[in-house]
Structure 1
Amino acid sequence: MNASRTIAPVTGAATRFLGGAGLLLRGFGMYVRSPKLMLLGVIPALITGALYVALFATLLYFVDDLAGWLTPFADDWSSPWRGLLRVAAGLAVVGVAGLVGVLTFTAVTLVIGDPFYEAISERVEDRLGGTPGAVDVPFWSSLRRSLADSLRLVALSALIGVPLFAAGFIPVVGQTVVPVVGALVGGWFLALELVGAPFYRRGMRLPDRRARLRADRPTALGFGVAVFLCFLIPLGAVLVMPAAVAGAALLARRSLGQAVEES
């Protein structure tokens, strides 16, 4: 069947939207009931945490040298003032490093976790009967296509996100309409991104998933908006991503007319 002609379920848009959000909840259920999936989901955060602890410990070890390097003008100061300045400089370095660590922890974890999330997605599909129409795509070809599609999504997100950001400064509208539109837009692009792995396993690209999700847009938006709102919570992306990946596998199968119930 042509992707653009996929027939959406004959139910109300609100019901399908809530059903899409329910796919994230089902993803959580599948994730927490499987120790193997939970282990796969935790490993990226553990790797990132160990990496950051090692980097932070190294920084603390060399912080006195860094403070001296940052304040060479204080070399000729009298002892109490030079020491106080360099203690302050050291604390500032540690503080900035901590802030950068907090801000980048999620992004680094998601990058490290990509192969683990791919494994979660595949195992979820295996529990649902396997991947119909699976193709064997070489790793480098898959990576190249995935990066190309991701860059296209980022570009589209920026084209829409920048005007929305500017509109956020409009009185009343910016505090009411814009956040809702932003959540819908962000949710749509998140849904498109998260279903990438199941579609790639079937040899399908970004235009295919866009057409399939568009055929039942309320369901896709319900799932994407639920994930988007969870990601707004500090460290929410790290905690929710494994369940979101599992839910995305369900969304992809539903959009392709394949079984979403465990056999």
Structure 2
Amino acid sequence: MLVSFIAGVSAYGRAIQLCFKYKLWIYFLVPALLCILLGGGMIYGVWNVSDDLGNWMAGFWPFNWGKSWVDNVAQVFGGLAVGAFGFIIFRNLVLALAGPFMSLLSERVENRLRGQASATFNMSAFLSDMARGVRIALRLIVRELFFTILLFLLGLIPGLAILTTPMIFIVQAYYAGAGNLDFALERHFRVRDSVRFVRQYRGLAIGNGFVYLLLLLSVVGFLVALPLATIAATVETVKKIKQ
């Protein structure tokens, strides 16, 4: 698993090289615009909802003593909770909406790696990729939210927050990487077989998602995060399929 994780992280260096070699920058435009629009909406939503959630949580404290401390903790926890869940929704919306374009990017990269000519645009294939992307995104977001909520609840137990915080990041990295790997897997496997592939190489998914999340959380990196993650995932997925 560690070897696959390192491969998933190091593949980003190869992805940058391929961007320059094959002039793939046109594929960065759509996800960048989506990130700007959806990211702005997410920040606005988090800003408005976090205070309300914090006040609602603090309302369960029935005593006067310690109320100010509980209010402060509830505000912080409410902000973190809304921010985390908003980030999950934002990331999966970008994945679903930009998915067909990332599928085209992944296919072009794979053809280049295999020394084949790029396929012509096919509208039916484009729509099929969009439908599969929505299906995969829904599957991932449901499972990711379930485990994230579970870890958040465990984090409320004193002393466990120091463990659940990195675990939440690992869970998000895994599901983010799984979505990125699927852009290459969709040309070779059905959904069920793609899920098995990701489980077999979960270290690869976590490694890819780890760098992807760091880019999304950075000042400028979020503009190029999804295309780079798609190329990096395709490079390693093609290797595994060959093996």
Q: Which amino acid aligns with 1:193?
A: G
1:148 and 2:135 aligned = yes
Q: Which amino acid aligns with 2:131?
A: R
1:129 and 2:114 aligned = yes
Secondary structure of the corresponding residue to residue 256 of structure 1: helix
- 1:238-253 matched pairs, under 5 angstroms: 238-253=223-238
CA-CA distance at 1:236 after TM superposition:
3.5
Distance 1:14 1:45 in 2: 31
Q: What TM-score do the two structures reach when normalised by structure 1?
A: 0.60
1:124–1:161 CA distance, 2 compared to 1 (3 A): same
- 1:1-263 matched pairs, under 5 angstroms: 13-35=1-23, 37-45=24-32, 113-129=98-114, 138-174=125-161, 176-202=162-188, 204-234=189-219, 236-257=221-242
Unaligned segments of structure 2, at least 5 residues: 39-86
CA-CA distance at 1:25 after TM superposition:
2.6
1:28–1:166 CA distance, 2 compared to 1 (3 A): farther
Distance 2:223 2:95 in 1: 7
- The structure with the greater share of residues assigned to helix is 2
Distance 2:19 2:127 in 1: 29
1:43–1:213 CA distance, 2 compared to 1 (3 A): closer
Name the larger-Rg structure. 1
Distance 1:162 1:188 in 2: 16
Distance 1:165 1:192 in 2: 22
Percentage of matched positions with identical amino acids: 25
C-alpha contact (below 8 Å) 2:7/2:236 kept by paired residues: no
Aligned residue pairs total: 189
1:32–1:106 CA distance, 2 compared to 1 (3 A): farther
* Root-mean-square deviation (Å): 3.3
C-alpha contact (below 8 Å) 1:106/1:235 kept by paired residues: no
Q: Which amino acid aligns with 1:181?
A: M
Q: Deviations over 1:56-94 (max 9, x none)?
A: xxxxxxxxxxxxxxxxxxxxxxxxxxxxxxxxxxxxxxx
CA-CA distance at 1:158 after TM superposition:
1.3
Distance 1:113 1:146 in 2: 9
C-alpha contact (below 8 Å) 1:121/1:249 kept by paired residues: yes
Higher relative contact order (CA 8 A, sep 6+): 1
C-alpha contact (below 8 Å) 2:5/2:208 kept by paired residues: yes
CA-CA distance at 1:143 after TM superposition:
2.9
Q: Which amino acid aligns with 1:226?
A: V
Distance 1:44 1:230 in 2: 13
Match of 1:63 in 2: none
Distance 1:43 1:184 in 2: 27
Distance 1:251 1:145 in 2: 21
Secondary structure of the corresponding residue to residue 195 of structure 1: helix
Distance 1:162 1:34 in 2: 42
